Structure 1
Amino acid sequence: MSTNKVIHALYNDDDVLMDAVKQTRKAHHHIEEVYTPFPVHGLDKAMGLAPTRLAICAFIYGCIGLSTATWMMNNIMISDWPQDIGGKPSFSYIQNMPAFVPVMFEMTVFFAAHLMVITFYMRSRMWPFKQAENPDVRTTDDHFLMEVAVSGNENDMVSFFQNTGAVEVKVIEKH
């Protein structure tokens, strides 16, 4: 089993954390993760994270839902069991489409919402019964933790993070 070291720099203010993230990126240190008790606006850009592609997935899932609804209604109401409901003709999907719009909308939303939740959980690696990966319980209350991979001189990096305003800096062996 391989081990590598990471530095846990703990901050008690989100503005100090933002400045520390910018300084860390400027010093070319690799930030593994940042743990915060609440969302910090602009942190993703400061860390240099790529924009999310979940909106593209939502569009694709909506199209799948719309296609499924169209296929389902054509097979059920036109091909398999055509019925004269309220005087509507049942020999053409196009003629019945105004009556099918609510079903198409609901299936689009249903597929997009449910598949987005599944995609989010899989992308975040949040499996059922998975243990929490929070390295310090204070990050769920009032502290911010930046996890940085140790590269080069460990003592220089510790002093660097102490100078960024960290209230606590620890070197941890990660398995």
Structure 2
Amino acid sequence: MASKTIHAIYNDDDLLLHAVKQVREARYHIGEVYTPFPVHGLDKAVGEAPTRLAITSFLYGITGLSVAVLMMNFMMVQDWPQDIGGKPSFSFLTNMPSFIPIMFELTVFFAAHLMVITFYMRSRLAPFKKAENPDPRTTDDMFLMEIDATNHNVEDLTKFLYDTGAAEIKLIDNK
């Protein structure tokens, strides 16, 4: 059985956000929403689950802090202890105030770089990957809402979407 998808194109982000809420209230299934820039509140309006990226960022920061502590303990206390500024080098804790900038920098470094890698992997982005957006105007100034219309009356759904403020509607037959 062929599935049908409707692409409703909007020209304003507030109009799109209001239309998404109306479509969800009417119990239609929104497959995806393509926007040229992030729209505040759109993820909640579409019904996306909360992201766990903050948890991964915290874990990456803890990893960076651990690497910094282990690295400085090995280099400055165990492997090659030096008397810098009259500070004894036989204990990590006595030298920790001078190590705080390094610990902070490595925490931020690990969190930032590993978050970028996680973002690319999660988004399935890679260099030279072809764009998957269905309409090239969604990278410039238009907003597209993709709605599954397989089990719905297409004429009623089209009229409903025009009533929500859609500027253009296309029916896509996926065979």
Amino acid at match of 1:137: P
The normalised TM-score by structure 1 is 0.89
CA displacement at 1:4 relative to structure 2: 3.4
CA displacement at 1:10 relative to structure 2: 0.9
Contact 1:12 1:142 in 2 (8 A): yes
Contact 1:29 1:151 in 2 (8 A): no
Which whole-Å CA distance do the structure 2 matches of 1:39 and 1:93 have between them? 45
CA displacement at 1:95 relative to structure 2: 1.3
Which whole-Å CA distance do the structure 2 matches of 1:124 and 1:84 have between them? 49
Task: Let me know the Cα RMSD of the aligned residues.
Answer: 1.9
Which whole-Å CA distance do the structure 2 matches of 1:48 and 1:5 have between them? 21
Aligned residue for 1:156, secondary structure, equals helix
CA displacement at 1:3 relative to structure 2: 6.2
Give the match for residue 64 of structure 1.
63
Which whole-Å CA distance do the structure 1 matches of 2:173 and 2:79 have between them? 64
Q: Which runs of 5+ in 1 are unaligned?
A: none
Which whole-Å CA distance do the structure 2 matches of 1:173 and 1:11 have between them? 21
Aligned residue for 2:37, secondary structure, equals coil
Q: Does 1:54 align with 2:49?
A: no
Q: Does 1:138 align with 2:137?
A: yes
Instruction: Flag as ranges the 4+ runs of structure 1 deviating above 6 A.
Output: none
Identical aligned residues as a percent: 67
CA displacement at 1:174 relative to structure 2: 4.3
Instruction: After TM superposition, list the pairs within 5 Å mapping 1:74-93 onto structure 2.
Output: 74-93=73-92
Give the match for residue 154 of structure 2.
154
Amino acid at match of 1:27: A
Q: Does 1:12 align with 2:2?
A: no
The normalised TM-score by structure 2 is 0.89
Across the two proteins, how many residue pairs are aligned to each other? Answer: 174
Which whole-Å CA distance do the structure 2 matches of 1:96 and 1:141 have between them? 53
Give the match for residue 111 of structure 1.
110
Give the match for residue 43 of structure 1.
42
